[in-house]
């Protein structure tokens, strides 16, 4: 069992606990499937507005997003866009729940908890994980709608102005309540997977715990979340720098042994990948500045013409090479997300201890109780109860 200090120092274990092929695979599979569906829906939304899919792919590739393309679309295209973002959000919630569950079971000493078991748990609890932010969003929407209706009533001559002025204290309290619900909704997207994974409870318990943490421990929640974001970003950048250096060394080794064919193969594959991520590169350069060559493309790559290649196999193989590089990139990104999810899981374990005095690592939940094998003493007891008695 993982021994926690129940302080902010426990959060610094997140990068080490996240460095697991199993947990990174859990995150990669869930978000990968969600992202593929997201891409299909995004391109379908632009297609119904009359845009050419070939031109869109050449211009935006995998980085297509309604908020960055600047293209005008019909109103019914937004149905595809909203649905695509919802699918991506649901994929994030379910995969984060599976990651948090795998970390939680490993912290309890169950190191043989598989990624399939983690996803079985996540899909079993998908309703609770999704219903929690949906419920908070509905409550927040009703409160905002009520405020709008009261504002319309305030248009009534004389009575409206007098009523609004007379009850301003109540509207101020209502505004604070709306702000509290909005904060709880924001927190739920990042903390509910950890709550459900560690408690094995339903949506009502997740809603109660979200409100309880936001109300009773707002500063600890804020500071811990900021620390988790910094750790996740730092871990992602370090892993990305190491991975890029490893790829550079691999390219040099294979170029020395294989010759010009590998040089052309690697160059064309990197050119393909750079074209697919062309719309993402300006964002990376703005965020990382002059440090971006350590983690991303340092220079533009241009594909070698087919006439200069030694054979058609090099051009064909470059696509497989490019998809392999894309998979490695997704794996690196998954490490950053897993680090954040692990940090949020540790955050909830620490705050639950401070709030209720309960160490969730010492508690058996329903899944463990149903899977626990029957002991030899219990079997012996049942046998003795079933055996006929010789007493007179």
Q: How many CA atoms, within 13 angstroms, populate the side-chain half-sphere of residue 17?
A: 26
Among left, alpha and beta (phi > 0; psi -120 to 50; other), residue 51 is beta
Give the span between the Cα atoms of 331 and 324, in whole angstroms. 11
Could you tell me which of 340, 155, 320 has the C-alpha nearest to residue 232?
340
Instruction: Answer whether residue 307 shows pLDDT above 60.
Output: no
CB contact at 8 A, 342 and 17: yes
CA 110, 112, 113, 115 torsion-angle sign: positive
Q: Where are the domains of the chain?
A: 8-216
d(CA 151, CA 55): 47
pLDDT tens digits, 202-239: 888 899 999 999 998 889 899 999 999 999 999 999 99
Residue 373 has pLDDT above 60, yes or no: no
Q: Kindly report the CA angle at 190 between 188 and 192, in degrees rounded to 5? A: 50
Q: From the CA atom positions of the chain, what is the Rg in Å? A: 27
CB 197 within 8 A of CB 347: no
Model confidence at 297: pLDDT above 90: no
H-helix segments, the chain? 14-18, 21-47, 53-60, 66-69, 77-107, 115-124, 126-153, 159-166, 168-199, 203-216, 218-258, 260-276, 281-288, 312-356, 366-371, 376-386
How confident is residue 364, by pLDDT bands cut at 50, 70 and 90?
A: confident
Give, as one character, the DSSP assignment of residue 359.
-
The token pair at 329 is 């990139």
Top mean pLDDT of 167-171, 286-290, 325-329 is at: 325-329
pLDDT of 308:
64
pLDDT tens digit sequence for 277-287: 888 877 888 88
Q: What is the pLDDT of residues 192-204, one digit of tens each?
A: 999 999 988 888 8
pTM of the model: 0.85
Asked whether residue 30 carries a pLDDT value surpassing 90, the answer given is yes
């Amino acid at each position: 069992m993982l021994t926690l200090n129940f302080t902010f120092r426990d959060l610094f274990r997140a990068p080490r606990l996240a460095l697991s092929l199993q947990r990174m695979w859990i995150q990669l599979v869930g978000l990968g499937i969600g992202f593929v569906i997201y891409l299909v829906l995004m391109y379908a939304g632009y297609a119904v507005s009359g845009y050419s899919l070939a031109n869109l792919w050449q211009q935006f590739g995998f980085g297509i997003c309604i908020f960055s393309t600047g293209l005008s679309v019909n109103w019914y295209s937004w149905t595809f866009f909203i649905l695509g973002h919802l699918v991506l959000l649901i994929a994030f919630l379910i995969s984060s729940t599976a990651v948090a569950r795998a970390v939680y079971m490993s912290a309890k000493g169950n190191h043989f908890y598989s990624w399939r078991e983690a996803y079985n748990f996540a899909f079993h609890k998908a309703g609770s994980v999704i219903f929690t932010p949906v419920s908070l969003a509905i409550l927040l929407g009703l409160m905002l709608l009520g405020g709008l209706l009261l504002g319309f009533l305030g248009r009534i001559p004389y009575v409206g102005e007098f009523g609004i002025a007379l009850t301003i204290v109540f509207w101020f309290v209502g505004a604070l309540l709306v702000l509290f619900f909005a904060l709880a909704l924001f927190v739920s997207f990042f903390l509910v997977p950890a709550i459900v994974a560690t408690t094995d409870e339903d949506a009502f318990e997740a809603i109660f715990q979200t409100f309880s943490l936001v109300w009773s421990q707002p500063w600890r929640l804020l500071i811990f979340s900021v620390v988790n974001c910094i750790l996740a970003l730092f871990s992602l950048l370090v892993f990305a720098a190491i991975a890029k250096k490893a790829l550079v060394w691999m390219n040099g080794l294979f170029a020395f042994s294989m010759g010009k064919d590998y040089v052309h193969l690697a160059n064309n594959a990197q050119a393909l990948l750079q074209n697919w991520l062309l719309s993402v590169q300006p964002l990376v350069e703005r965020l990382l500045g002059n440090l971006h060559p350590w983690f991303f493309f340092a220079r533009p790559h241009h594909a070698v013409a087919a006439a200069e290649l030694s054979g058609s196999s090099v051009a064909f193989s470059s696509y497989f090479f490019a998809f392999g590089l894309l998979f490695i990139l997704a794996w690196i990104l998954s490490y950053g997300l897993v680090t954040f999810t692990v940090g949020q899981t540790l955050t909830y374990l620490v705050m639950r201890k401070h709030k209720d005095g309960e160490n969730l690592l010492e508690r058996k939940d329903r899944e463990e109780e149903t899977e626990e094998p029957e002991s030899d003493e219990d079997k012996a007891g049942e046998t003795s109860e079933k055996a006929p008695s010789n007493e007179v």
